[in-house]
Chains A and B, each alone.
Chain A
Amino acid sequence: MFRTALRNVLAHKARLLMTVLAVMLGVAFVSGTLVFTDTFGSAYKNKSAKSFDHVSVAITSNGGSGNDDGQEGKQPPRLTNSLLTEAKGLPGAQSVLGSVSGFTALADKDGKLVGGEWGTTGSNYYPGKDGKDPRYDFTEGAAPKTAGDIALDSRTADRTGYKVGDTVRYSTDGPVKQAKVSGVFDTDDGSVIAGGSLVVFDNATALKTLGKSEYDEIDVKAAAGTSETTLKSAVDKILPKDTEAETGASLKAEQDRMIEQNTSSMSQVLLIFAGIALFVGIFIIANTFTMLVAQRTRELALMRAVGASRRQVTRSVLIEAFIVGLIAAVAGFALGIGVAVGLESLMNAGGASLPDGPLVIGPTTIVTALLIGVVVTMLAAWLPGRRAAKIPPVAAMNSVHASPTVRGLVVRNTIGSLIVALGVVMLFMEDNYVMAGGAGVVLVGVIVLTPLLSRPFIAAAGPLLKPFGVTGKLARLNSVRNPRRTASTASALMIGLTLITAMTVVAVSMGSAINKMAADSFKGDYSVSMANFQPLTPKVHDQLAKLPEVEASSALRTTSGEVDGSYSRITGVDPEAFHKLVGLDFTSGSVAGLKGNATLVDKELADDQGLKTGDTVPVEFDDDKTVRLKVAGIYESNEMLSGLFTPTAVVDPHVSKIQDQQVLLKMKGGTSEKAEDAIVTALGDNPAIKIQDKDDISNEVGGAINLMLNMLYGLLAMAILVAVLGVINTLAMSVFERKHEIGMLRAIGLDRAKIKQMVRLESVVISLFGAVLGVGLGLFLGWVAGDSISGTVTTYTMEVPVGRIAVFLAIAAVVGVLAAVWPARSAARLNPLQAIKSE
């Protein structure tokens, strides 16, 4: 008796460890995701945040200023030095600061652009009364004083290795310029903290170089004793036309609101991640504890038999769950922070330039982690614990070994079918949110139905197990023995694989849709544009057209206009070269007719307006002049090509400033390093100019998708790890329950290797069941999602990534084998004498 007791305790230790591990991983999964999303979210917000410490009242222009997109009218400068001086003289004003900033591309030592495309900024150094600009804190060297000076933020200096005195190359929107590094500074600029680059010019140079003759903003700081509102009313009196003043406080509030708005879709995506994490985490914990208590039914009944009351039994289970939950939650939380850090470096290693920021561990995260760990564990323990307490004490005396509870699955199956049906209906609704909800509902429904599905699946696996003879047969029978248990084990794996498969299907299909679109639409070799999506000067095209390597070239001179009252994009192109550079899918007409006052029209617009090739259509440009253009052809539009295409000569008279969105090139020898070098050299090795070939173009769009996918893989790898624990747990329990049987099998002649094989096969069968179910459901969901995507992305066709799916299934099989290692070994170690012991 002592030996069995001792063995029980030892078995408990392993079980306890297993439970703690499961809860810990569940909590780690959730808290890791939450910390990661918080950190990422806040870094994302901070990158556009700036400090208002030195701002009491800010003056900005509120009309179309010349610096937004260059398309609008040219108004005289308003935020000038004279306004600055005037503001300085106001009563209650302590100091003023004029700020101007704009896209500035800095080249690193290899000539490449420093910083992401969103964070390459140049600004001015505006010395105050004390000769310092409060925005910058110089750590080395001095502030820029002349046009040849430039200062770098310290992180950029670190990254590039530039030191004070070095000469650097930069570009705003024109040709490459050179400047000497005068100093290095620290700043609290959000964009810099997030990993962008910031360079500072002296005030006069900044005003000139950044392409404006006025400030973006004039900040006035109130003297001590003057309130922001008092100062604002003073400022209001001197405001020129089309400008406005705001207090620092309201600007801050406005900024927060804007950031919230801009990041809300990002937050939503991240919340969905956290939601999935939460779901999987809760599922796993509940599963583990349900198993654990079920496993201890006899022990609990024994406690009842020796006089423990129901309440005592339940309470003992709860206390245990509380302790386990608490320990595991704390450990899981710590692990989760590690996970978050790991995720971030994983993504950065994967080529994503995520905005940097300090780790954000919000109170919500802590509370959620603890709540999940403790409450879910206790709940998961309480329900089966209550059931256990209801077991009559006599059950303890029942020495008959493991008889499966064959409770009817009819109710469960009915409910499951209804849920799945509801989910499927939701999936085919128009609304995207309803659809996403439908996916979740279907998943839940399938989880409910898993026990039902386990039988046919495992029966189907029968032929595969046949070669293993009697062990294969026993493994098959054991896996259908307790369908609920098999199902809940398989479900953990299923959830992960459903998500992975669905996402992979969509991502892979999307990727090739983009590739196809790029290949179809762009027939040239290179596209040249500004790194900040600003327009190019027409000089770029002129220079490139002259290159001997260039076979054909065309600028895309994009502007907008109205066709019969409806907005349309109008792109001026070189009609001679256009057809060599761009592939249009014509429904009628052709590019041949694109001469003089002619245009190509996309089919959507043509259908709207009832236009046919040969018709004449009046087009009103932004300067309110209307030109009548002959429709030369009608083509199918896509994400890359839409609107009107007309010769540049038609567009030029109607734009305020001639500039090109892109220049497309076809080279004589196709793409080559030499050709690319020729373009780079012709453009003066300008870091602000982006030269992309066809692959680059599709990568630009596809890259984001791959990044997302890698992030998902990282998160879901976690889910699979947890699923492995689930499988181990089930197997361990199943071995424990069947030790009499296993002992008997050993006694009548099944050797250790075969026992191991039996457990392993059972594990693989269960894992593959989960995996196949997950892959199947994932394919279905991927198909449904694709259906709605193909409405907007015309080249989208569903692609089944057979290779990857094979890998997923292989991983599932490996998971099965790995999960079985320990349970199989303990099964093989069982002494055959166990069979003979009936106590």
Chain B
Amino acid sequence: MTTTTSFAARATGVAARASELSKVYGQGETQVVALDRVSVDFGQGEFTAIMGPSGSGKSTLMHCVAGLDSFSSGSVRIGETELSTLKDKQLTKLRRDKIGFIFQAFNLLPTLTALENITLPMDIAGRKPDKQWLEQVISMVGLAGRLTHRPTELSGGQQQRVAVARALASQPEIIFGDEPTGNLDSRSGAEVLGFLRNSVRELGQTVVMVTHDPVAASYADRVIFLADGRIVDEMLQPTADGVLDRMKHFDAKGRTS
């Protein structure tokens, strides 16, 4: 079964689109289908959460759409760019210029200061950061006083705020987050999610986030649910309770089937 989801109400365009996207590991008997002909659009200026039980393919979907992982068939577009034909070098450039990332394990460079970490993608690209924008981002995440600190001198929440600023600073077309609150306590997690939502609402950023936390998902504009490599459901303007209910439903279904 293939589920095609409609545009979200607020969307003015498509930031990323997967069509008939499949990813298969192995061959023959041992073949594992991680993604089964998934088609999905991520609208511009939209905050989407991808949910699903472990092994549902939610991370794989995000990796493929973000140009981090290869896929077996189908197509992925970031803006106007088709990913399936790109070589590693072009993919790298695409990630550098058009995509921002936030990882569960923060993934900051311990040798660089907070500010250096934030501007790293632009340093790599050899671009000068937009000063005004940078200041706006830094003050939004509340790091102004800690720019010269190294990651080891920051708390987990602060480190992830640096990561959020890093993703935002280069004004990418789309930001992908892989369980961005997975390593944080609930208060720090809420802060980070708040920044992400604000960046969507106030700055018009596009954010796609993988999570298994219903509370985190409730910050999104839209939640899509994956199970067994397929999109099985979608929820607009989600609430934590609503998401939890839906998840329980899948779990029960998964157990009985």
Contact = CB atoms under 8 A, between A and B. Distances in A.
**A and B physically associate:** yes
Interface of A: 399-404, 469-470, 473-474, 477-478, 481, 740-741, 743-754, 832-833, 835-836, 838
Nearest to B96: A749
B169 to A, nearest CB: 11
Interface in B65-110: 68-69, 88-89, 92-93, 95-97, 100-101, 103-105, 107, 109-110
A833 B68 contact: yes
A749 B111 contact: no
Contact of B152 (A403, A477, A743, A745): A403
A748 B69 contact: no
Contact of B68 (A401, A470, A474, A836): A836
B239 interface: no
A753 B107 CA distance: 21
A201 to B, nearest CB: 81
Contacts of B178: 836
A741 B112 CA distance: 12
B95 A749 contact: yes
Nearest to A743: B107
B165 to A, nearest CB: 13
A776 to B, nearest CB: 27
A726 B84 CA distance: 41
Nearest to A399: B105
Contact of B103 (A477, A478, A744): A744
B101 A401 contact: no
A737 to B, nearest CB: 11
Contacts of B69: 833
Contacts of B124: 470, 745, 748-750, 754
B103 A836 contact: yes
Contacts of A743: 107
Most buried by B among A401, A741, A747, A833: A747
B198 to A, nearest CB: 22
B229 interface: no
For B68, B89, B107, B123, which residue has the most chain A Cβ atoms within 10 angstroms?
Answer: B107
Given A748-B120, A754-B124, A833-B68, A474 B109 contact: yes
Q: What band does the interface of chain B fall in when counting residues whose beta carbon is under 8 Å from A?
A: 20 to 34
Contacts of B63: 833, 836
B92 A746 contact: yes
Given A400-B105, A750-B96, A836-B105, 11 more contacts: A399-B105, A741-B109, A748-B121, A748-B124, A749-B121, A752-B88, A752-B92, A832-B95, A833-B69, A836-B63, A838-B182
Contacts of A747: 68, 95, 101, 103
Contacts of A754: 124
A838 B179 CA distance: 11
B126 interface: yes
Given A403-B152, A747-B95, A838 B89 contact: no
Contacts of B123: 469-470, 473
Nearest to B166: A748
B120 A838 contact: no
Contacts of A744: 101, 103, 107, 109
B125 interface: yes
The 8 A-B residue pairs whose C-beta atoms are closest, nearest first, are A749-B96, A477-B111, A744-B107, A751-B92, A838-B105, A470-B123, A748-B121, A836-B178
Contacts of A473: 123
Interface string B181-212: 01100000000000000000000000000000
B105 A749 contact: no
A775 B103 CA distance: 45
Contacts of B107: 740-741, 743-744, 835
Contacts of A749: 92-93, 95-97, 121, 124-125
A698 to B, nearest CB: 55
B118 to A, nearest CB: 11
A187 to B, nearest CB: 71
B105 A751 contact: no
Contacts of B96: 748-750
A468 to B, nearest CB: 11
Contacts of B88: 751-752
A226 B92 CA distance: 96
Nearest to A404: B110
A64 B183 CA distance: 96
26 contacts: A399-B105, A400-B105, A401-B105, A403-B110, A470-B126, A473-B123, A474-B111, A477-B112, A744-B101, A744-B107, A745-B109, A745-B124, A747-B101, A748-B95, A748-B100, A748-B124, A749-B93, A749-B96, A749-B125, A750-B96, A751-B92, A833-B68, A833-B69, A835-B105, A836-B63, A838-B182
